[in-house]
Amino acid sequence: MSDQRPLKVLLLSAEVVPFAKTGGLADVAGSLPKALHALGHDIRVAMPRYGRIDPDKFGLKEVLAAFPVPMDKQMEEASIMEGALAPGIPVYFIENGKYYDRDGIYMYPDDAERFIFFCRASLEMLKRMDWRPDVIHCNDWHTAIIPNWLKTVYKEDAFFANTASLYTIHNLAYQGIFGYRVLEVAGIAEYGFMYHAEMADLSEVVDFMARGIFFADAINTVSEKYAQEILTPEFGEKLDPLLRDRRDRLFGILNGIDTDVMNPATDKHIVQQFDVESLDKRVANKLELQREANLHEDAAAPLIGIISRLADQKGFDILGDVTDHLLDLGLQFVLLGTGDPHYHEMFSRIAQAYPGRAAVFLTFNAELAQKIYAGTDMFLMPSRFEPCGLGQMIAMRYGSVPIVRATGGLADTVKDFDPRTGEGNGFSFAHYDRWALFATIVRALENFKYRDTWRKLQVRGMGADFSWSASALKYVDLYYRAIAACGKGTKLEDYGVAKK
Ligand code: ADP
């Protein structure tokens, strides 16, 4: 670790694999800590103990009995259960039946209160445990209030005097926007709304995302391309003026994937394990997937997969416009996803219209996901915007060739195949347009006919390094930067930042 001292970091996330997941945030929160721990840092994780997280299954033990947590003008009680991501990486579960004993993770009318409580209880927990992190690593709007508190209600609190904050934006589209009342709940009403000359809305609503961006000592998002894109009105989700003000502390760090879990050579969910040396075995997974999905069993038919939240961001409107034309080309299609009812209807219609050729699973199913990564020939992500995207990386690791729109992390990880030079690892298009998507899939299908070409694409994808090793080091640098920017009596040279 060169001359830098090990850091103490608390990472907070609303979802963490393997305890609760709806999307990529959970993957990151479950895998980045392992890479940081391997680098010698004391990284710990906090999340709510949702009702669906079974304490027995995960061996959770109570480590702090009920203690008071300020909420509005009253006190609510939290207790803490402890589990682990891996040996040496504790996960603290914030326990409160009123807020978390429900079926789901999000989408409740009191979500603002639920996540304010999670954050406040986490800070109070640290004091009770007497564990002072150098950095609190906040992720997405659910935890964005913490940088705000560190600069207000906890400003004079000696316990947090040397605690810096990093705020990671996993998706700018989900900002957590609420009314004035949440300022009272969070105990910051005396400071009022935010003001920004170019963003009048901020003076009328509480936008948690904006507060994270405004108050954090360092900010990042999950790919370099998206970090640039969000500075523009097209991708800035109305916060681009604020992001431009803070661009000196805004960085892009590409997500990694957990290459131990996402490993076709050891994956227990697929019928046939394989690696780059035994790619011929992979076809057994395709045939099994075709059986399970009621598709015609045909090793030669090109099979395209999608695994996704069904949200407007993901580009399904342009896909819907061309699916009939695509299925007429003789390909097969399997989708696993859940979300917007409008897309549930759209994909159900497609499945009914093309029995044996289109299969649709409108649920969340982590095991089936692995079978789709391992059994499809191509993996489609035509996203309108994509902060990082993990699906394309997992697909490549499993030998499924990505077809993507070149935006955000998709642009940073998938390079369009050029048959003249042989360069590239997938297929991509720039303009968000149905015919650009259609033409790109046709290109992929044409290349699929050439076995050697296709094999090279698969091998290149499987050989790429999508692990956390490079990105975890970048997070460590960013933690030091946050500490330096936090400045509360911290000398840069104590942390090795000044030497960089
Ligand atoms: P996002 O974070 O926007 O949802 P990402 O591509 O970053 O998109 O991450 C999505 C993650 O969630 C991937 O690990 C993907 O395999 C998984 N996933 C998405 N939908 C489902 C589903 N219905 N069933 C199982 N896994 C899913």
Question: pLDDT digit string (tens) for 299-308?
Answer: 999 999 999 9
Helices 434-448, 451-463: axis angle to 10 degrees equals: 110
Query: For the purposes of burial, counting CB atoms within 10 Å of the CB of 363, is it exposed (0-12), middle (13-18) or buried (19 or more)?
Result: exposed
Q: What is the mean pLDDT of residues 411-426?
A: 97
Ligand 1 neighbourhood includes 145 CB (under 6 angstroms): no
Contact status, residue 78 vs residue 92, Cβ threshold 8 Å:
no
Ligand 1 neighbourhood includes 332 CB (under 6 angstroms): no
pLDDT 10s digits, 449-487: 999 999 999 999 999 999 999 999 999 999 999 999 985
* Owner of token pair 């926007």: 177
Ligand 1 neighbourhood includes 443 CB (under 6 angstroms): no
pLDDT recorded at residue 487: 58
pLDDT recorded at residue 5: 87
Ligand 1 neighbourhood includes 28 CB (under 6 angstroms): no
Task: Determine the 3-state secondary structure of 84 from DSSP.
Answer: strand
Q: Please say if the pLDDT value at position 496 is more than 80.
A: no
Q: Rounded CA gap, 232 and 282, in Å?
A: 43
Task: Give the distance (Å) from ligand 1 centre to CA of residue 314.
Answer: 11
Q: Please, where are the H alpha helices in 240-308?
A: 240-245, 283-292
pLDDT recorded at residue 321: 94
Task: Give the distance (Å) from ligand 1 centre to CA of residue 389.
Answer: 8
Ligand 1 neighbourhood includes 308 CB (under 6 angstroms): yes
* Owner of token pair 């393997």: 18
pLDDT recorded at residue 3: 54
Ligand 1 neighbourhood includes 222 CB (under 6 angstroms): no
Task: Give the distance (Å) from ligand 1 centre to CA of residue 170.
Answer: 13
Phi, psi of 170, deg, nearest 5 = -90, -25
Task: Give the distance (Å) from ligand 1 centre to CA of residue 226.
Answer: 18
Task: Give the distance (Å) from ligand 1 centre to CA of residue 241.
Answer: 30
CB hemisphere CA count around 244 (13 angstroms): 14
Q: What is the mean pLDDT of residues 96-110?
A: 96
Task: Give the distance (Å) from ligand 1 centre to CA of residue 59.
Answer: 26
Task: Give the distance (Å) from ligand 1 centre to CA of residue 27.
Answer: 9
* Mean pLDDT for all residues in the chain: 95
Contact status, residue 496 vs residue 2, Cβ threshold 8 Å:
yes
* % of the chain beyond a pLDDT of 70: 97
pLDDT recorded at residue 195: 86
Q: Please say if the pLDDT value at position 500 is more than 50.
A: no
Q: Residue 338 to residues 315, 335, 358: CA-CA distances in angstroms?
A: 14, 10, 16
Q: Please say if the pLDDT value at position 428 is more than 50.
A: yes
Q: Rounded CA gap, 96 and 125, in Å?
A: 13
Site to substitute for ligand 1 among 140, 172, 307, 379, most atoms within 8 A of C-beta:
307
Q: Please say if the pLDDT value at position 46 is more than 90.
A: yes
Measured distance between the N- and C-terminal CA atoms of the chain, rounded to whole angstroms: 14
Q: Rounded CA gap, 337 and 347, in Å?
A: 10
pTM of the predicted structure, to 2 decimals:
0.94
Ligand 1 neighbourhood includes 23 CB (under 6 angstroms): yes
Q: Rounded CA gap, 122 and 78, in Å?
A: 9
pLDDT recorded at residue 492: 33
Residue with the smallest CA separation from ligand 1 atom 4 is: 23
Q: What is the mean pLDDT of residues 201-213?
A: 93
Q: Rounded CA gap, 74 and 429, in Å?
A: 54
Residues linked to residue 78 through DSSP beta bridges, in sequence order: 67
Q: Rounded CA gap, 499 and 5, in Å?
A: 13
Encoded tokens for 273: 């394990």
427 membership: H or E segment, kind and range: strand 427-429
Task: Give every strand in the sheet of 135-139, ordered side by side.
Answer: 61-71, 74-86, 89-95, 42-48, 8-12, 135-139, 164-169, 218-221, 250-252
Task: Quickly count: other Cβ atoms within 10 Å of residue 95's Cβ.
Answer: 22
Using only C-alpha atoms, the chain has a radius of gyration, in whole angstroms, of: 23
Task: Give the distance (Å) from ligand 1 centre to CA of residue 459.
Answer: 23
pLDDT recorded at residue 15: 98
Q: What is the mean pLDDT of residues 235-258?
A: 96
Q: Rounded CA gap, 377 and 387, in Å?
A: 24
381: nearest Cα among 391, 367, 370:
391
54: nearest Cα among 23, 18, 89:
18
